[in-house]
Chain A
Amino acid sequence: RKEVEQDPGPFNVPEGATVAFNCTYSNSASQSFFWYRQDCRKEPKLLMSVYSSGNEDGRFTAQLNRASQYISLLIRDSKLSDSATYLCVVTRGTGGGADGLTFGKGTHLIIQP
């Protein structure tokens, strides 16, 4: 099993719809989880951290399922501007330095008018 796995997509979703995608991770010792957003040919930017109890930021909801070792991202009322690649990022252990981060390959989302 790869360290971090994501469905590459693309997910083609009509504007206004709800879309969700998951990311599975293999290291049960992983402690921190993040979703980054990357627009075409640009640098990744932090979308949100993922907390154990789940967390919400506007239209975005992130969930963590430790038992099944996956995190999820839900986007409600999708906008054209949500079109991007969403990167799942997981720490390899308990350390907090970014040298311990593993990046998924990303899920490509296309919101269609």
Chain B
Amino acid sequence: EPEVTQTPSHQVTQMGQEVILRCVPISNHLYFYWYRQILGQKVEFLVSFYNNEISEKSEIFDDQFSVERPDGSNFTLKIRSTKLEDSAMYFCASGGGARTGSLNLAKNIQYFGPGTRLSVT
């Protein structure tokens, strides 16, 4: 079964440093998303991306954040200058794929990766 993958699984960085979190969405999906979950809290939406541009973003997604799809497979989230409060689990998701062959992926359903735990010290 196809799945979303994310690297690294755990990233430790110092305050003020830049980090790039990487995701490989399910192939043939067209919509890509980043969410985050601060420890013990609910999952919050950050940004969605379609057709090489941001389609929706939340208040959390300020100028410190950016997303990119540098090639046909990766989808990245960059945090320019990390703050302590950026410590969280970051989840990538993809969706919006058409049914293909034996894959039973309903259109518009979002499938999540395993997450990257970001620790800012």
Are both chains from one complex?
Answer: no
Chain A residues packing against B (C-beta within 8 Å): none
